């Protein structure tokens, strides 16, 4: 797909812009025109205001209709009461896109939300697509087109990453941070209230944006989940990384966001699972957002998951070793061949470990870098090489010959490499000059920042070409639910969908109970079967460890207890199943419907782990067997699967298949399902059985 073909091209890369509300007295006008000048905008520009006067040399009109030439975007920043007229005027002039800076809409509460709804209705009626409102706009750096008041940090750096932010102030601060890390921006946008165009559509546009090599997103909410999933999938197939900082990990943040933009923030753990599925990298800080995008933009996909590191500072090497472990980065030990080669090159001062302390010797003999870097980069399993040295922001911080040697060696190896300073800092003119002069590879500041970003980049690289299965998302169709309203019915349904369940029979009389008990043999579990009784134990509806010979009497006792406790409840009988003993694991497999992302499956170990530690792994449905196995391996208590205190190791393959089948069974019930739970699923080696099941339907049905 070429850029021009994208439906949002006229909005995001306009060749003609009308500034609606332009005035020499308006700070907005001043900031907007400064941007057009700074970017060297080559397209057409028109000033529209009540009087039709020129504005700072831009030809003025009283109306968009007076312009008399095609206009791609009306950039509207008139007072809120004048917006509807401005929009109508733009539409009448044939303008199909409006970027609305004016605020006072959904972000200010109920009254504002009504105004916004009315604006959207007007735009839809007029056939105009809205960006904003309450947005600072966007700088399409690649195209040299700023439709924004987002300030530009100079000098321009070669474009590399896109920055999208729902918060305007944050967009500007992220762009400034990127600049300080010597990361150029290709596109910077503050999306504001996203009344129509949301992050998802812009991401989709950026997938084909030439100079955007990675997309960094700061989000409070994902307004169009289906479009987000589609855009992320398209980015993944093109190996264009998306990095997301989404707030909402804390309850408080969701409250603040709601007050801030009126946006609802979904279940955070579910969003984590969705990102994992989509190959979207999720981070927790602004710095990690930009550093990860910047690193991947510089290196592209890494071909191996090991990090090599070398430094003239032993301190840096120890810090890297600790930070690598903390951030899940593997530093593969050097193989014997590399060790031998390093021994040949290094004086007896250095070790041959990875990370490699080349010691101050490299300062006296900078050529050492030239000899060591190819060896460290060429060691088996190294996908990224870090070289620790002070990146100078002022004279005297590093010896130039060492930098020259590093730049030369880095250019000669195939492994992507990064020069890393120990602490974070902003790279200034001096640093940029030094980077250019010594032809340094990508530069990062701060060992912790480097290892965080490297971990993200490595994990993304390893998984980007996995065959994806998109989340089911919300199914709006509420099929008539089948009446799966007893444990027995749920287990029978699951069995029909290929899930192994404990054998059980329905007894409707004491005699039938005796016959079933005799067939099964004791000890047995007897439970009341009634669509009206959710908590069977509380009403005396459960007896465990029943001997077969007692089954008839116990049947009578259960019926009597339940009738006494819950007179009038519909009773279908008593289910009889063999007791399952110890010597196995008990898992909980639950499916529930997330209001944003649709059905998700949760897997955990029963008992202390799930109830005390909330040790659950979740994924959007459907899941593949590999993904189900990944969920199991991701549990904190995963070691239990390998056998514990004499328990046989769980048959992971088989167990993963059961999880897949439970998920598929839940999906087969359609959009009316609120919850399906198998608890416990008993696992003893390859013996796997659902012992109990529950289904809850959505209230709306």
**Between residue 171 and residue 200, which ones bind its own copies under the rule CB under 8 A?**
172-174, 176-177, 180
> Is residue 544 a contact residue for its own copies (CB under 8 A)?
no
Q: Whole-number minimum distance, CB 456 to its own copies, in Å? A: 15
Query: Which H or E run contains 687?
Result: strand 687-690
Cβ proximity to its own copies, 110 vs 476, nearer residue? 110
Contacts with its own copies by CB under 8 A: the residue count is 85
Query: Which H or E run contains 586?
Result: strand 585-594
- What character string, x for contact with its own copies (CB under 8 A) and - otherwise, covers 662-701? ----------------------------------------
Burial annotation 398-417 (CB, 10 A radius, 16+ → b, else e): bbebbbbbbbbbbeebebbb
DSSP states along 171-223 = HHHHHHHHHHTT-EEEEEEE-TT-SSS-HHHHHHHHHT-TT--EEEEEES--S
Cβ proximity to its own copies, 127 vs 336, nearer residue? 336
Q: Whole-number minimum distance, CB 695 to its own copies, in Å? A: 25
- What character string, x for contact with its own copies (CB under 8 A) and - otherwise, covers 379-418? -----------x--xx-xx---------------------
> Is residue 30 a contact residue for its own copies (CB under 8 A)?
no
Cβ proximity to its own copies, 193 vs 299, nearer residue? 193
Cβ proximity to its own copies, 200 vs 641, nearer residue? 641
Considering only residues 333-362, where is the footprint of its own copies by CB under 8 A? 348-349, 351, 353, 355, 357, 360
Cβ proximity to its own copies, 130 vs 609, nearer residue? 609
Backbone φ and ψ of 591, nearest 5°:
-120, 130
And the tokens for 186? 């290709």
Near its own copies by CB under 8 A: residue from 42, 70, 226, 250 = 250
Q: What's the CA gap between 14 and 189, in Å, rounded?
A: 15
Is residue 631 a contact partner of residue 272, using CB atoms and an 8 Å limit?
A: no
As to burial, measured by CB atoms within 10 angstroms (0-12 exposed, 13-18 middle, 19+ buried), residue 110 is exposed
Is residue 420 a contact partner of residue 383, using CB atoms and an 8 Å limit?
A: no
Q: How many CA atoms lie within 13 A of 46 on its CB side?
A: 28
Q: Whole-number minimum distance, CB 664 to its own copies, in Å? A: 30
Burial annotation 19-43 (CB, 10 A radius, 16+ → b, else e): bbbbbeebebbebbbebbeebebeb
Cβ proximity to its own copies, 286 vs 679, nearer residue? 286
Considering only residues 273-302, where is the footprint of its own copies by CB under 8 A? 284-287, 290
Handedness of CA 15, 20, 26, 27 (dihedral sign): negative
Q: Which stretch binds its own copies (CB under 8 A): 66-74, 316-324, 622-630, 651-659?
A: 316-324
Cβ proximity to its own copies, 71 vs 199, nearer residue? 199
Q: Whole-number minimum distance, CB 265 to its own copies, in Å? A: 9
Is residue 310 a contact partner of residue 389, using CB atoms and an 8 Å limit?
A: no
Near its own copies by CB under 8 A: residue from 325, 437, 466, 538 = 325
Considering only residues 428-457, where is the footprint of its own copies by CB under 8 A? 428, 446-448
Near its own copies by CB under 8 A: residue from 121, 226, 423, 544 = 423
Considering only residues 456-495, where is the footprint of its own copies by CB under 8 A? none
And the tokens for 40? 């060297």
- What character string, x for contact with its own copies (CB under 8 A) and - otherwise, covers 601-640? ------xxx-xxx----------------------xx-xx
Cβ proximity to its own copies, 247 vs 576, nearer residue? 247
Three-state DSSP state, 445: strand
Cβ proximity to its own copies, 324 vs 499, nearer residue? 324
Is residue 39 a contact partner of residue 144, using CB atoms and an 8 Å limit?
A: yes
Q: Whole-number minimum distance, CB 78 to its own copies, in Å? A: 17
Is residue 308 a contact partner of residue 414, using CB atoms and an 8 Å limit?
A: no
And the tokens for 152? 């530009």
Q: Whole-number minimum distance, CB 605 to its own copies, in Å? A: 8
Strands (DSSP E) contained in 49-183 are 60-61, 73-76, 97-100, 129-131, 137-140, 145-148, 159-165
Alpha-helical (H) ranges within 388-509 are: 400-412, 429-437, 447-463, 487-496
Q: Whole-number minimum distance, CB 194 to its own copies, in Å? A: 14
Q: Whole-number minimum distance, CB 591 to its own copies, in Å? A: 25
- What character string, x for contact with its own copies (CB under 8 A) and - otherwise, covers 252-271? xx-xxx-xxx----------
Q: Whole-number minimum distance, CB 172 to its own copies, in Å? A: 8
Cβ proximity to its own copies, 240 vs 246, nearer residue? 246
Cβ proximity to its own copies, 112 vs 599, nearer residue? 112
Considering only residues 88-147, where is the footprint of its own copies by CB under 8 A? 103, 107-109
In three-state form (DSSP H/G/I as H, E/B as E, the rest C), the secondary structure along 30-60 is HHHHHHHHHHCCCCEEEEECCCCCCECCECE
Query: Which H or E run contains 28?
Result: helix 27-39
β-strand pairing of 673-684 with 693-697: antiparallel
Cβ proximity to its own copies, 316 vs 678, nearer residue? 316
């Amino acid at each position: 797909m070429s850029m021009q073909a994208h439906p949002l091209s006229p909005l995001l890369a306009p060749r003609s812009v009308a500034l609606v509300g332009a005035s020499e007295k308006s700070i907005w006008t001043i900031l907007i025109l400064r941007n057009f000048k700074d970017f060297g905008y080559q397209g057409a520009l028109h000033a529209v205001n009540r009087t039709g006067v020129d504005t700072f040399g831009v030809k003025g009109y009283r109306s968009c209709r007076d312009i008399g030439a095609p206009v791609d975007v009306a950039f509207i920043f008139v007072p809120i009461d004048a917006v509807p007229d401005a929009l109508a005027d733009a539409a009448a002039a044939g303008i199909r896109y409006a970027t609305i800076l004016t605020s006072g809409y959904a972000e200010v509460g109920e009254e504002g939300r009504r105004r916004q709804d009315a604006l959207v209705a007007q735009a839809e009626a007029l056939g105009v697509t809205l960006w904003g409102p309450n947005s600072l706009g966007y700088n399409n750096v690649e195209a040299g087109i700023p439709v924004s008041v987002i300030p530009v940090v100079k000098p321009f750096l070669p474009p590399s990453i896109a920055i999208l932010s729902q918060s305007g102030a944050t967009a500007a601060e992220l762009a400034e941070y990127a600049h300080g890390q010597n990361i150029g921006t290709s596109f910077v946008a503050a999306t504001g209230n996203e009344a129509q165009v949301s992050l998802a559509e812009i991401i989709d546009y950026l997938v084909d944006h030439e100079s955007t090599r990675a997309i960094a997103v700061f989000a409070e909410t994902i307004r169009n989940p289906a479009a987000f999933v589609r855009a992320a999938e398209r980015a993944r197939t093109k190996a264009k990384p998306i990095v997301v900082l989404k707030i909402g990990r804390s309850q408080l943040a969701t409250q603040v966001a709601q007050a801030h933009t009126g946006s609802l923030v979904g279940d955070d753990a579910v969003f984590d699972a969705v990102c994992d599925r989509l190959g979207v990298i999720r981070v927790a800080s602004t710095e990690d957002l930009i550093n990860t995008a910047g690193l991947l933009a510089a290196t592209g996909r890494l071909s191996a998951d090991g990090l090599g590191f070398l430094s003239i500072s032993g301190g840096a090497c120890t810090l890297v070793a600790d930070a690598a472990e903390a951030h899940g980065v593997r530093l593969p030990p050097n193989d014997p061949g590399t060790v031998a080669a390093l021994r040949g090159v290094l004086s007896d001062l250095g070790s041959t470990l990875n990370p490699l302390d080349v010691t101050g010797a490299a300062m006296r003999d900078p050529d050492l870098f030239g000899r060591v870097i190819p060896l460290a980069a060429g060691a088996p399993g190294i996908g990224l090489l870090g070289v620790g040295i002070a990146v100078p922001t002022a004279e005297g911080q590093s010896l130039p010959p060492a930098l020259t040697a590093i730049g030369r060696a880095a250019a000669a190896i195939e492994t992507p490499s990064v020069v890393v300073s120990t602490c974070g800092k902003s790279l200034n003119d001096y640093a940029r000059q030094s980077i250019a002069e010594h032809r340094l590879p990508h530069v990062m500041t701060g060992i912790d920042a480097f290892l965080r970003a490297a971990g993200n980049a490595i994990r993304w690289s390893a998984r980007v070409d996995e065959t994806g299965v998109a989340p089911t998302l919300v199914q709006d169709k509420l099929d008539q639910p089948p009446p799966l309203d007893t444990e027995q019915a749920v287990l029978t349904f699951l069995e029909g969908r290929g899930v192994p369940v404990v054998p059980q029979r329905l007894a409707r009389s004491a005699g039938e109970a005796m016959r079933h008990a005799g067939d099964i043999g004791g000890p047995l579990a007897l439970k009341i079967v009634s669509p009206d009784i959710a908590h069977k134990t509380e009403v005396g509806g459960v007896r465990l460890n029943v001997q077969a010979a007692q089954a008839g009497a116990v049947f009578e006792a259960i019926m009597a207890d339940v009738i006494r406790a819950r007179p009038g409840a519909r009773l279908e009988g008593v289910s009889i199943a063999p007791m399952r003993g110890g010597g196995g694991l008990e898992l909980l497999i639950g499916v529930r419907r997330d209001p944003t992302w649709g059905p998700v499956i949760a897997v955990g170990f029963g008992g202390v782990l799930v109830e005390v530690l909330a040790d659950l792994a979740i994924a959007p449905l459907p899941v593949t067997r590999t993904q189900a196995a990944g969920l199991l391996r991701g549990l904190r208590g995963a070691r239990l699967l390998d056998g514990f205190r004499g328990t046989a190791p769980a048959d992971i393959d088989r167990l993963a298949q059961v999880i897949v089948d439970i998920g598929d069974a839940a999906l087969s019930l359609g959009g009316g399902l609120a919850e399906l739970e198998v608890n416990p699923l008993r696992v003893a080696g390859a013996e796997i059985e659902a012992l109990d099941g529950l289904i809850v339907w959505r209230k709306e049905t």
